[in-house]
Structure 1
Amino acid sequence: MSGRLQKEPEGGRLAATRSEQISQPTVAKNGLHTHQRTLKKAARCTGIGVHSGNPVHLTIHPAAINHGIKFMRADLPGKPVISAHFRNVVDTSLATVIGQDGYILSTIEHLMASFYGMGIDNALVEVDTHEIPIMDGSAYPFAEAIRDTGIETQGGSRYYFKVKEPISIFQGDRSVTVYPSDTFQITNRIKFDHPLIREQELSVVITNDTFEKEISHARTFGFYSDYQQLKQLGLSRGCSLDNVVVIDGESILNEGGLRYTDEFVRHKILDCLGDFSLLGMPLLGHIKTDKSGHALNHAFLKKFLSRKQSWETHVISSQA
């Protein structure tokens, strides 16, 4: 596994004020949380930036109710903060990049997927460069750090976007549609003209458990020929077989091969989670994507929020 994880001792810097005690159940029958959540204490991750190849030190701090997910560039004067929201997305060509007031942060999607999948609403992420570490190319190192550090249920209700009617966006033969549902589900279809991938489709009802077991381990993937081109452009300097599934001809170059027979589509679901986390609130609905990517997902988020007649804010009861 690429990168290191370390939990911060109790009472670490920027720890959140303890939340009021919650006496009633906080997980509904559909597996979704009724109240906001944060980490019990800070967790640290150390790795490299997949594009820069430079070391990255990251600390995930607990945060108060309604804080949301925010990133602090500790390497810059004044330690500017960037909110994790799709309105702050400035680039999706090679990774999801957010920016605010002229400051940027790249490759946030795997960490954001971990927050979404593990049910974390509030956190302050302190990072010492312009990239989130790639770790092993999946979301699992982040999910593991969150689980091992501990999760605290907070007093504030957790609000959801509840889908009332289908919303779609199309781009050629690519599409994203969200349907009404009483759960949070993602169905993803990919198609590559390559014998190791071809057409794959998977549907998963996302809970903390299904995310960690079925999605979080899936790694980013790419073709060796593309990697060579990116290297010539001065990009992907941190790429290696420790953090990317590399396809060369009809072979997987990574020792041990794939973690799942359909690891490719599982990683696309992971990326979709990371993109949809930027809505600012979790979703109660069924996302269906067909050959979509970061750019189309983010275009959909913009359309979704503009269609206010198609959704409502919703609080889930523990009896739901």
Structure 2
Amino acid sequence: MREQTIASPIEFTGIGLHTGEHATVRILPAPAGKGIIFRRVDLDNFELRADPASVARVAYATTLMNRGVWISTVEHLLSALYGVGVDNAYIELDNFEVPILDGSALPYTEAIARAGVVRQSRRRKYMRIVKEFVLKEGGKTLGIHPSETFSVKYDIDFPHPLIGKQSIEVEFTGTHYADSIAPARTFGFYHEVEKLQAGGLIRGGSLENAIVLTPSGMLNGTELRFPDEFVRHKTLDLLGDFALIGQPVLGRLVAHRAGHALHTRFVGELLESSSHWVLDAAREAVAAVYDRRGRS
């Protein structure tokens, strides 16, 4: 399998979830071996690589920084690129927060499907896990285990009637991400809105870009996209943070009540723990998604 980039540019304009400010994001083809590079076009095309060393803040979103230049709420876009197998891209942004769009990664995956992807000259290198690596933080756990494919198992537990205990396991290399993970929207609790806004967060949040939960249900006038949309969105976020690893992985990723802080810490420490993985060329695996009852 060779590295891939998008075939033609993609552009979106929208508001930032936390800043409420308008921004335009453009995704452009990049050469083989380049990785994912952000460019702040409002700051003389300042470039910032999507990698663990750039992570600066993880409060309700993942924020990257280099030399005082910020790029915030990157996880949905990075998740989409990683989920559909785009290895190399330039991401141009004219403000410091990526627009939230509808709160999911679906607009990105649909646009990538329309634009197409192209294979490049460089052969893909996979990080193959050879020894399990696990981090625990309070009641949260994130680990990765040897496997011939890449899969994610995520469990969450919220004391809310629409959520409760949810679990999903996804094994994939491409096609299932767009159908099963990308449409899942971000969510939050109505009773936290005032406090978060006072802290400078979710100023662009609305029923158009998030599921807003009340004590007994949700404010949105639409139905959930999946009965377990919440754990699917957590999986989406995990993949966005895991994309900072910079290459495809062969391993079984298992998360329990994790979040951005643990996700990004995990990626950084895994990269430093080189006895747990090797770089390898590898074959494609067949994508499949399973719910907690094991049905495909």
What is the percentage of aligned positions where both structures have the same residue?
38
Counterpart CA distance in 1 for 2:36 and 2:210 is 26
2:12 is the alignment partner of 1:37: no
Secondary structure class of the residue paired with 2:42: coil
* Residue of 46, 56, 67 corresponding to 1:90: 56
Report how far residue 232 of structure 1 moved: 2.6
1:300-319 to 2 correspondences below 5 Å:
300-317=266-283
C-alpha RMSD of the superposition: 1.3
Report how far residue 302 of structure 1 moved: 2.0
The one-letter code matched in structure 1 to 2:78 is: M
Give 4+ residue runs of structure 1 displaced > 6 Å after superposition. none
Structure 2 residue aligned with 1:151:
117
* Residue of 127, 135, 138 corresponding to 2:101: 135
Structure 1 residue aligned with 2:221:
255
2:234 is the alignment partner of 1:278: no
Counterpart CA distance in 2 for 1:317 and 1:219 is 31
Counterpart CA distance in 2 for 1:235 and 1:319 is 40
Segment of structure 1 superposing worse, 303-312 or 159-168: 303-312
2:153 is the alignment partner of 1:199: no
1:110-125 to 2 correspondences below 5 Å:
110-125=76-91
Structure 2 residue aligned with 1:57:
24
Report how far residue 206 of structure 1 moved: 2.2
The one-letter code matched in structure 1 to 2:63 is: V
Counterpart CA distance in 1 for 2:16 and 2:285 is 43
2:194 is the alignment partner of 1:228: yes
Secondary structure class of the residue paired with 1:110: helix
Report how far residue 318 of structure 1 moved: 6.2
Report how far residue 177 of structure 1 moved: 0.8
1:97-116 to 2 correspondences below 5 Å:
97-116=63-82
Mapped contact 2:172–2:285 kept (Cα < 8 A):
no
Mapped contact 2:161–2:217 kept (Cα < 8 A):
no
Report how far residue 231 of structure 1 moved: 2.1
The one-letter code matched in structure 2 to 1:43 is: I
Counterpart CA distance in 2 for 1:173 and 1:103 is 33
Counterpart CA distance in 1 for 2:95 and 2:22 is 9
* Closer/same/farther in 2, CA of residues 283 and 318 from structure 1, 3 Å limit: closer
Secondary structure class of the residue paired with 1:261: coil
* Closer/same/farther in 2, CA of residues 256 and 318 from structure 1, 3 Å limit: closer
Aligned residues: 286
Unaligned runs of 5+ in 1: 1-33
TM-score where L is the length of structure 1: 0.87
Counterpart CA distance in 2 for 1:249 and 1:257 is 17
Secondary structure class of the residue paired with 2:121: strand
Counterpart CA distance in 1 for 2:58 and 2:283 is 36
* Closer/same/farther in 2, CA of residues 222 and 56 from structure 1, 3 Å limit: same
Segment of structure 1 superposing worse, 232-241 or 268-277: 232-241
Unaligned runs of 5+ in 2: 287-296
